[in-house]
A and B are shown apart, each in its own frame.
Chain A
Amino acid sequence: MAGRNVKLLRVERSALADNDAVARALRRRFREAGVFVVNVIAAPGAGKTSLIVRTIEHLRGWARVGVLEGDIVGNLDAQRVLAAGAYDAVQINTGGQCHLDASMVEQALSRLLLEELDLLFIENVGNLICPTHWVLGEDLTVCLVSAAEGHDKPRKYPEVFAKSDAIVLNKIDLMELSGFDRSEFVRHIRALTEAPLFELSCRTGEGMAGWTEWLWARVRRPVGPMPMG
């Protein structure tokens, strides 16, 4: 037998290169449609839908906001954001998958009035682990945690904080009740990232203005002055 002709191929590519390519195509599509896209990642119960609902309320009259709601099953969240004034919302049921991937977002766009939106929130499946690997063509990734979850989240799930463009700490009205050590939280966040940290309460509305103003400044930059909604 002749020796096998074995060769070493240098690859040096992300194992998720296929998803990355679909996400790049989505990004072009979002740019063409003039829509700013925010991927919201958080654990279940941190207040993803509440943050989106509150942001929609703050931007009422300024922006047409759409939402893609990622969930294992059900359409409760889509109903909630529509009731709050979302211009359009589509529920994506992953059927068990713990994260959204770019293909799921691409499929959902056929049911969304994308061209008519200024801002699109993609509410990822409640999970601080899996969604971090799957880019969706977003302009911003926002990691949301709540004071009630404890101050140790950055130490337990550092990757999602390191990758996010903004960190939102929700339920600050529960900080004392929850024994949340703010300095410990901030110290570990700052070891990971210089991304802005917004401390707020979706329930009381405290801190919401700072977050929405910052977001609004980012939304306006790529798409130009916003027409009134």
Chain B
Amino acid sequence: MHELAVAEQLLKLVEEEAQRAGARRVVAVHLVLGEHSHIAEEALRFHFERLTSQGSPAEGAQLRVRREPMRFRCLECDADYAPPAGDWRCPRCGEVGKLLDPGDELRVESLEVEMANTAYEEEEEEKEKEGGRGWPGET
């Protein structure tokens, strides 16, 4: 329903974090989407891909999504449980417990980013290229 707006916000955050870290490209975004976040994963992927398709450092980044359930605690049984949708009764005693976690998170856990190479690595890469072209070292 509002996946485009969420994708826009997500991209802002990803680009900001990548820039702050001095990254050159974002390879993957690890996202937690609660089961009750009411986000259609496919629609979010569609918008994220479309928004990053032109010149974003997150272009081609994989969206790795982990779903987290709604969780309750049963005070009688002193146990946590993740009930099926709409039926919040404790699987052991049948009493409705207390909400621990609504399972509605939209959280970026981490990013996998490609860093700009260090000066030493640039040099090595350059040497490798030169070697590859088969140019003899000048004396």
**Which of A's residues lie within 8 Å of B, judged by CB?**
1-2, 4-19, 97-99, 101, 129-130, 132-133, 152, 155-156, 158-159, 162-163, 187-188, 191-193
Contact = CB atoms under 8 A, between A and B. Distances in A.
Contacts, number: 119
Contact of A99 (B2, B17, B86): B2
Contacts of B18: 9
A106 to B, nearest CB: 15
The dominant DSSP class at the B interface is: mixed
Interface of B: 1-2, 5-6, 9-10, 12-13, 17-18, 21, 23, 27, 31, 36-38, 70, 72, 86, 88, 96-99, 102, 104-118, 121, 124-125, 128
B106 A6 contact: no
Contact of B96 (A6, A12, A187): A187
A16 B10 CA distance: 7
B9 A155 contact: no
Nearest to B38: A129
A154 to B, nearest CB: 9
Contacts of A130: 1-2, 38
A7 to B, nearest CB: 5
Given A11-B17, A18-B13, 16 more contacts: A2-B121, A2-B125, A5-B115, A7-B115, A9-B17, A9-B21, A11-B109, A15-B13, A16-B106, A97-B5, A158-B99, A158-B102, A159-B36, A159-B38, A162-B99, A162-B104
